[in-house]
Amino acid sequence: MNLYFAPLEGITTYIYRNTHAEVFGGCDGYYAPFITPSDNEKVTRKGLRDVVPEKNSTLNLTVQVLTNRSDSFLKFARKIKALGYREVNINLGCPFERVIRKGRGAGMLKDTEELDRFLDGVFSGCDLKVSVKTRTGFYSSEEMEKLIEVYNNYPLSLLIIHPRAREDFYKGTPDMATFSAAYKQANAPVCYNGDITTVSEFQKIREAFPAAEGVMIGRGAITNPALFREIKGGEPLTIGELVTFSDRLAENYFEVLQSETFTLQKLKEVWGYMAKQVPEEAKFMKKIKKASTRGELSFIVNQLGV
C-alpha cells in the first residue's frame, strides 16, 4: 500500500517537499498543490515554477490541475508532458468558496452530466495517465453512487477519495460507509484520504481496505512530518528533528524568497500544525506568533532542544 503526501495550498511547495524528503522521507510520492490555468486558459512557465523538474528531481511528484474545461486541461497536460511528467491529477475536491464559484474543484460534483462531458473531453485527447481526487458529493455523500458511475466510464489511473461531501468541509468524521461502498464499486484503483494522524489510524484503514492502492495523508503529515516513516516501522518523531526541520526550512525558504517577512510567514504557518507535537503547545505558539524576525523564531524553536 503506497503512502502519498497530499497537496496543501501554500505549504507543500517544492521548498517544503524537498526539505521534508531530506529530513524525514518515508512517503512514496508527493502531490503538488493544484495549478489553475489563468482566465485566458494559459499556463505560463511562472505558473509551473513549483513543478519544474530541476526543483523536484529527487521526488516522485504528481502534478495536480484545477479546471472545469477539457480544452484547458489538454493544454495543461501538454505543458507538463513537455516537462517529463507522465501523469496528471484532477482536483475535484477543493471545497473553498472562491473555487466553487467558478465551478471548479468540488463545484464540479454538482452536475454529473457536466462532469461526464468534461472527463470525456479529457480522455478523448490526453495521452498521459489521469487520476482524480474527489469528495463523495457536493451536498451529501448520497451523491457518491452516481459519481462512481461516471468515474467508472473512464480508465482512471487512481481514484483518491476523501469521504466527506463539499458541504462538510473538514467537519465531523469521514463517511466510512460511503467510502467502503465506493471502494467496492470503483473500477479504478482506490486511494483513501482523510483524517489520518497516527499509525493506528492508518492500520485501521489498511485492515479494512487491504486492496486499496494507497493512503494519502495531508494535515496529519504536516503536524507530524515523521508519520510516513513511523507507519513503515521507523523511529518516532523527536523534538530534535523538529528543530532541525524548522532550521532547514528557514534556510531554504530564505534562500528562495530572499525576504525575512515572507520566510517568517511560511515558518509560522508550518508551526501552526507542528506545534501540536511540543510540550505546552499554547504557550509555545504564543511565542511563535509574537516572533518578529527569522532569528527570533529560530531562537524560540531551538529552546525546545535545550
Percent of the chain, pLDDT > 70? 97
Q: Which residue has the cell 484503483?
A: 189
Q: What are the beta bridge partners of residue 24?
A: none
DSSP codes of every residue in 144-155: HHHHHHHHTTS-
Percent of the chain, pLDDT > 90? 96
Q: Containing H/E element for 192?
A: strand 190-193
User: What residue ranges do the domains of the chain occupy?
Assistant: 2-231, 239-305
Mean pLDDT (the chain, rounded): 95
Rg, Å, the chain Cα set = 20
**C-alpha–C-alpha distance, residues 68 and 197, integer Å:** 32
* The pLDDT value given to residue 193: 98
Q: Which residue has the cell 503526501?
A: 5
Tens of pLDDT, residues 208-221: 999 999 999 999 99
Long-range CB contact pairs, 195-200, < 8 A, 24+: 195/220, 196/220, 196/227, 197/223, 197/224, 197/227, 198/227, 199/227, 199/230, 199/231
Q: Which CATH superfamily is domain 2-231 in?
A: Aldolase class I (3.20.20.70)
- 195-212 average pLDDT score: 98
DSSP codes of every residue in 64-111: EE--S-HHHHHHHHHHHHHTT--EEEEEE----HHHHTTT-GGGGGG-
Task: With cut-offs at 50, 70 and 90, classify the pLDDT of residue 151.
Answer: very high
Q: What is the pTM of this model?
A: 0.95
Task: With cut-offs at 50, 70 and 90, classify the pLDDT of residue 149.
Answer: very high
Tens of pLDDT, residues 14-65: 999 999 999 999 999 999 999 998 655 566 667 799 999 999 999 999 999 9
* The pLDDT value given to residue 47: 79
* Region of poorest pLDDT, from 46-55, 56-65, 146-155, 168-177: 46-55
